[in-house]
Structures are given as C-alpha cells and as structure tokens.
Chain A
C-alpha cells in the first residue's frame, strides 16, 4: 500500500465503519443524496458556463446573467403552455436560447460595447452589468404583471423515471445532466479546436492585438454573447421545469453560478463544471451528511456552501483550472497540488 492509498483509504473506511456502527445509513439515503447533488450541480453548471464563457472573452463579470436565466425560464414555461409535450421540450430550449441570446447581444451593443470603447475598466463594466440586471428585472416585473403571469410553472413536470436503490432518477435529470455535459464539451472543443475559439482566446488575451492581426473583434464578441446568453436561456428552461418561475429566480441562482464559475477560475469550462458539482454536492450531499451525523441544521446550507468555496479558493486562488486534455491527468495533478505533503 503506497502513501497515496493510505491518505485516501483510511478516512473512507473509517467513515463507513462509523456509519455502520451508528446505524446511521438507515436514515441517510446515499444514492438519493448523490443523485440530487448531480442534478442540482448540473443546473448550477448550466448557469455558470455562460458566465465563464463571457468573462473569459470579454472580461465582463456579467451580473445580468441571472436575468437572462429568468427570461429563458419564462419563455420556456410559456412555450410549454402553447405546444404539447414532447415537442414542447426542444422548442422551449431553442426559444429560450434565442431570446436570451438576442437580449444580451442587444445589451452588449447598447451598453457594454460603447463603454468598452470609451475605456471603461472591468469594475465599471461590472457595475454597468448590475444596472442592466436591475433594469431587466424590473422591466420583467412590469411585463409579467401586465400579462398576469408573475409566477408561472412549466407544463412539463418532474417525473420519476428510474429508481436506483434509494435514489430516484427523474426525467429532468436525464435532460439536464447530458445537456450540461455536452455543453461543456462543446464549449471546450469550440474554444480549443476551432478558428472562432482561437480568435476568442486571442480577444481574451488582448483585444487590440487580436484586431491588429485581423481578428474581427466585434464578430467574436457577438458570437461570445450569443453562446453565453443562449446558455443562460437553456439553463432557465431547465430551471422552469424544476421550480416556479418568477422575476427573482435568476438572481437567486446567479450567486451559485458565480461561485461555480469562480471555483473554475472564471475561464475554464472543465473547472466550471467541477465548480458546479462542488456547489451541488456541498448543498446536498455534504449538507445531508452534516445534518444526519452531526445534527447541523439545514439552515446553514448557504453558509456551508460558501465556506467550502472560500476554503477552495484559499488553496487555489486562481480557481480550479483543469488545463489538461486528459481529465485523469488533470485531476491527479490537482490532487497533488492540494495535498499538504506536496505543497512543501
């Protein structure tokens, strides 16, 4: 048994024997907790990858991203009321993508691009995004109240499809998890393997230099906002199935989206997905463990989530960036970096 196995093996064995001795596993539904963590982690990741995408290229920490999620949720919920299932699902996703992408692209043209041209700093742009966020949210209030749809639920409801042990796989799980993973892989591929992706990286590094070398910076910005905003819309379409849509929903999710993106270094899609799942597991699996075995009330859920985030950032201030095409190698390097024995 080498040193690494000792580090990992003993705590798990000790925990398992502790659980068995205290007969706590009866009330702790392990599979259910893991399934919930994966689902909510995916939902957070879907929100976060759009934040990462736009920040990585434009350097704008876009706080109006939450409102794009809300818009996506409203559009999706309305589509499901107009079209019947199963056609409603792809249509809702497509419509949410289109509307959120159109809105944020217009906002870039009206607000962010002119500000950037006038030499606004990232801080100014962030503050501008706050203003956009509030403007969009209260415009939505006016719109949805006038249409008598302040709160709305999707016609597609969450249904249990499979039961695995004590866990339940729902239809939403089967949609949200693959959509998240495929989105991350596609974004990673676009960023690394395509001409547009290379141009995006060039703009991210230095927009003026990229322009000087023939990159159409405006076009790249538009593509970036379309993808980032569209993904916010897709996230909204999934959230509209998961919970009630109201003008605040995107704002409530945004903080966790930013947390996931920050854990991922605000520039890495694979890091963002890891961040999303860390938040998802912190809010569910870790919270369940702490609650069942240490009696910590779920009221501390938000605190625990952000403590985990802060601790991770203390060890990895630039976030967890998986820079390797080989995920296994990347994870192994990450573990080596985090381990105290290897930080000397």
Chain B
C-alpha cells in the first residue's frame, strides 16, 4: 500500500513537472514591455521607488525626477523624429527588501517590464538582486552600498560611498580639524559611509569617535546628548568638528536638539549630499534650525556642479513640478532614467545582456545633470565631482552657497568660481 502511494506521488510529481514545463512559454511574461503600433515603438520602463515608509520623501523625490527625465526624453525623441516613446510605470518598494522584490516581480510578471530604474538603498537592491540576476533584468539603481559590487545586471551610476567619504575626510582635515564626533544612521548606507570616512580621516592623522543610531525612532535626543558628550570630551575647540550622516526626518529632529545644545552649537558641522535639502532651511524648517546651521557653518558635498546647464534645466522643471528645490538624489535619478532610455533606444528595445552592454556604452559618453556617469566593470560610478556647499543667511534668506569644487579625476579642491562650470 505504502509503495503504491509513493509511486503515485512520484508519478504525480513527474506529470506535474512535465505539465508545468510545457506550460512555461504560455505563462512567462512577454519578452519586454515594448509594443509597436502604427510605426511607433512604445517602451515601458519600471520604476521602483520607496514612496512610503521612512524614506518616502526621497522616494517621492526620485520618482518625480525620473518622470521629468522620461518626459524630457520623449520631447527630445519627438523633436528628432524618432518613433520611440517611453512610459514610466512605478511600484512602491516601501523602503524594504520585500517591497522591492514584490515591485520588480509584479512589473515583470504582469506587465513584462525588463528594464528598471530606482531602488534607493542597499536593502531594496538586496531584495531584488537574485530575481534580477535570474531573469536578466537590467536595474539602474540610484544607490546601494558596496556589498553589491559584483558584476551583475545592476548598475549604480550614483555617488557611492567609496567616492563620497574620502573627499569629505580630506575636506575636514584640510580645514584644520583633527577630532571628529560622528553621528550616523545604523543602516548599510550610514554605516558604510561613516566607516570609509573614519578610515580615511584616521589615515590622515585625525581622531574619530562615532555615535551610531537606530533609524525609525520618533526621537533622537539621547543620541544628540551622546554626541555632545563626545564633543565635550574632545574639548569642543577649533580643532573639533561634527560629521553626520542623516536623512530628512531624523536630520531635522537631530538639528532641533543640537540647536539648543551649547556644546554642539560651538563646533563646525559637516554633512553629506543628504544634508543639502530644502527641508532643512527656513521657510520649510524653523528659523531656529536655519540659524543653527548658519552658526555651525554646516558644510557638505553635492555631486557635481549645480551651475551645470543640464542641472539648471532639471532643477527648474523639478521646482515647477514639485514646488521644492532639486536635490542630489533627484538630479542623479534624472540622469539614470535618461541613460536607461538612451540605452533602450540604442538596442531597439532589446533588454537583458544586450541592454547591459548598451548601458555601459551610454554611461561612458553621458555627461548629464549630475556630471559624468562613467561606470567601472561592476557598473558602479567610477569618478565623481563635487561642489562644496555651506549654509548662509543673506538678508533673511537661507540658502546653500557653493564655496569649493572637488575634481574626482585630480582629487583636488579648488575655490569655487561662480559660473565657471557652466
């Protein structure tokens, strides 16, 4: 009896496998979301953005930027008499690995989309990576940490931590600071960026002590108190500075606490691309925070020159669409969507390995809103230029002013000359 049951089970398995295998071509998605009607080729790009969750502000930011890029690309193609037309269809990743995987799976299986832009961090990229590899889905991601630096179908033509952290360390050391108290997010981005920074700053001869904080908390008062204690221990003198890796909601809470801390208000603060956001300055932020950022001469890096004409065009469109000033993330996403679109035009809508090769080709020649997007053999940005900004208050108007320029190819800072990099 038992043998009969096992035999039936095995037969069932074999039959099931056979049926499933033969039905595969029927169930599999179409080879790409490319349709040609009346001489017009419609290509759909998938967008994976965290439009909800902790980083929703960033997701909304990059989604709007990608859409602006697609609109501009369509206008350009139309003006050239091209038959190609692009559409962006987005899914919310909710800033999670599961959300990211669900997003890419849904877009692939239900809409047949095989080319994607968007995931904004390592968790999201990690979530979709295996699926992308297995199905040869090209993903042009805006960010992820170095753990995914392998040759796959994922590109990261964004200022990765390995390119951002060393110039920050060089800048702080060059300005005469030797002791740095750090405050950074406990996610792969924050930890990775801070560790590379600390390594570089210590190599230069400086001292670093950091406070890593749990993300997604409603309040960071005790974290700021610990940073204050470290800065006190360093003497809070003209050789002491703060370097912080924060996002928007946590950043505002931290600035709020730091602005009433007499020790932290005495030393200079350095930040990252993420520290340059409209949300940190009045009128969006309280005046007390704006005054604090001016007082501590909040300084940081922004990828490429913001007086680049492509950036200026994008920034104007972004402002008109969202009512906010463009960010480093948005500017990069704009370029990423353009790169993917141009590569798809180059391949005639073909995806997989062909598209992967085309993305390499396009990035080699593409200089956009955020600068040159040359990538290395892993698909990661190979070189990055930065503008060095600081916060000023000119006649009651708070803004980010550029003071220096960093060339990624020479590794040198030079004074900012307004209009030079147009």
Q: What separation, in Å, do the CA atoms of A36 and B286 have in the docked complex? A: 20
Q: Is the CB of B57 within 8 A of A27?
A: no
**A79 to B: closest C-beta gap in Å:** 15
Q: Is the CB of A40 within 8 A of B221?
A: yes
Q: What separation, in Å, do the CA atoms of A333 and B222 have in the docked complex? A: 32
B186 is an interface residue with CB less than 8 A from chain A = yes
Q: Is the CB of B249 within 8 A of A150?
A: no
Q: A153-B286, A157-B287, A157-B288 are in contact. Are A284 and B221 (CB under 8 A)?
A: yes
B207 is an interface residue with CB less than 8 A from chain A = no
Q: Is the CB of B219 within 8 A of A246?
A: no
List the B side residues contacting A284 at CB < 8 Å: 221-222, 225
Task: Write the B195-233 contact mask toward A (1 if CB under 8 angstroms, else 0).
Answer: 000000000000000011110111101110110110011
Give the nearest-CB partner of B259 in chain A: A158
Q: Is the CB of A248 within 8 A of B53?
A: yes
Give the nearest-CB partner of A39 in chain B: B221
List the A side residues contacting B252 at CB < 8 Å: 153, 243-244
Q: Is the CB of A158 within 8 A of B260?
A: yes
Q: What separation, in Å, do the CA atoms of A27 and B213 have in the docked complex? A: 20
Q: A141-B52, A243-B253 are in contact. Are A170 and B260 (CB under 8 A)?
A: yes
Which of A148, A239, A247 lies in contact with B322, CB distance below 8 A? A148
Task: Write the B281-320 contact mask toward A (1 if CB under 8 angstroms, else 0).
Answer: 0001111110000000000000000000000000000000
B279 is an interface residue with CB less than 8 A from chain A = yes
B192 is an interface residue with CB less than 8 A from chain A = no
Which of A170, A244, A299 lies in contact with B248, CB distance below 8 A? A244
Q: Is the CB of A141 within 8 A of B51?
A: yes
List the A side residues contacting B259 at CB < 8 Å: 158
Which of B51, B213, B218, B286 lies in contact with A299, CB distance below 8 A? B213
A292 is an interface residue with CB less than 8 A from chain B = yes
List the B side residues contacting A28 at CB < 8 Å: 229
A67 is an interface residue with CB less than 8 A from chain B = no
Contacts of A201-258 to chain B: CB distance below 8 A? 239, 242-244, 246-249, 252-253, 256
List the A side residues contacting B228 at CB < 8 Å: 29
Q: Is the CB of A298 within 8 A of B211?
A: yes
Contacts of A153-182 to chain B: CB distance below 8 A? 153-160, 168, 170
Give the nearest-CB partner of A28 in chain B: B229
**A243 to B: closest C-beta gap in Å:** 4
Contacts of A10-62 to chain B: CB distance below 8 A? 26-29, 32-33, 36, 40
Q: What separation, in Å, do the CA atoms of A322 and B232 have in the docked complex? A: 41
Q: What separation, in Å, do the CA atoms of A154 and B52 have in the docked complex? A: 21
Contacts of B39-77 to chain A: CB distance below 8 A? 51-54, 56-57, 60
Q: Is the CB of A157 within 8 A of B289?
A: yes
B112 is an interface residue with CB less than 8 A from chain A = no
Q: What separation, in Å, do the CA atoms of A233 and B258 have in the docked complex? A: 27
A114 is an interface residue with CB less than 8 A from chain B = no
List the A side residues contacting B81 at CB < 8 Å: none
List the B side residues contacting A244 at CB < 8 Å: 248-249, 252-253, 279
Contacts of B224-263 to chain A: CB distance below 8 A? 225-226, 228-229, 232-233, 248-249, 252-253, 256, 259-260
Q: What separation, in Å, do the CA atoms of A170 and B228 have in the docked complex? A: 18
Which of A153, A283, A297 lies in contact with B212, CB distance below 8 A? A297
A145 is an interface residue with CB less than 8 A from chain B = yes
A90 is an interface residue with CB less than 8 A from chain B = no
Q: Is the CB of B211 within 8 A of A292?
A: no
Give the nearest-CB partner of A256 in chain B: B218
B25 is an interface residue with CB less than 8 A from chain A = no
Cβ-Cβ contact count across A and B, 8 Å cutoff: 119
B395 is an interface residue with CB less than 8 A from chain A = no
List the B side residues contacting A27 at CB < 8 Å: 229, 232-233
Give the nearest-CB partner of A246 in chain B: B249
Q: Is the CB of A141 within 8 A of B286?
A: no
Q: Is the CB of A243 within 8 A of B249?
A: yes
Q: Is the CB of A242 within 8 A of B219?
A: yes
Q: What separation, in Å, do the CA atoms of A298 and B165 have in the docked complex? A: 24
Q: A160-B260, A246-B56 are in contact. Are A40 and B219 (CB under 8 A)?
A: yes
Q: A153-B284, A157-B287 are in contact. Are A288 and B248 (CB under 8 A)?
A: no
B18 is an interface residue with CB less than 8 A from chain A = no
Q: A141-B51, A157-B288 are in contact. Are A33 and B225 (CB under 8 A)?
A: yes
**A77 to B: closest C-beta gap in Å:** 11
Contacts of A103-162 to chain B: CB distance below 8 A? 137-138, 141, 145, 148, 150-151, 153-160
Which of B52, B56, B60, B223 lies in contact with A298, CB distance below 8 A? B223
A183 is an interface residue with CB less than 8 A from chain B = no
Which of B56, B256, B279, B288 lies in contact with A242, CB distance below 8 A? B256
B323 is an interface residue with CB less than 8 A from chain A = yes
Q: What separation, in Å, do the CA atoms of A178 and B77 have in the docked complex? A: 63
Q: A151-B57, A158-B288, A248-B54 are in contact. Are A287 and B222 (CB under 8 A)?
A: yes
List the B side residues contacting A32 at CB < 8 Å: 225
Give the nearest-CB partner of B248 in chain A: A151
Task: Write the A297-316 contact mask toward B (1 if CB under 8 angstroms, else 0).
Answer: 11101100000000000000
Give the nearest-CB partner of B286 in chain A: A157
> A residues within 8 Å of B by Cβ?
26-29, 32-33, 36, 40, 137-138, 141, 145, 148, 150-151, 153-160, 168, 170, 239, 242-244, 246-249, 252-253, 256, 283-284, 287-288, 291-292, 297-299, 301-302
CB-defined A-B contacts under 8 Å, sample of 26: A27-B233, A40-B219, A141-B52, A141-B56, A154-B286, A156-B286, A157-B287, A157-B288, A158-B259, A242-B253, A243-B218, A243-B219, A243-B252, A243-B253, A244-B252, A246-B56, A246-B57, A248-B56, A252-B216, A284-B221, A284-B225, A297-B211, A298-B212, A301-B214, A301-B223, A302-B214
Not counting A168-B260, A256-B218, A284-B221, a sample of 15 additional A-B residue pairs whose C-beta atoms are within 8 angstroms of each other reads A27-B233, A28-B229, A32-B225, A151-B57, A154-B286, A160-B260, A242-B253, A243-B252, A243-B256, A248-B56, A252-B216, A253-B218, A283-B219, A292-B229, A299-B213
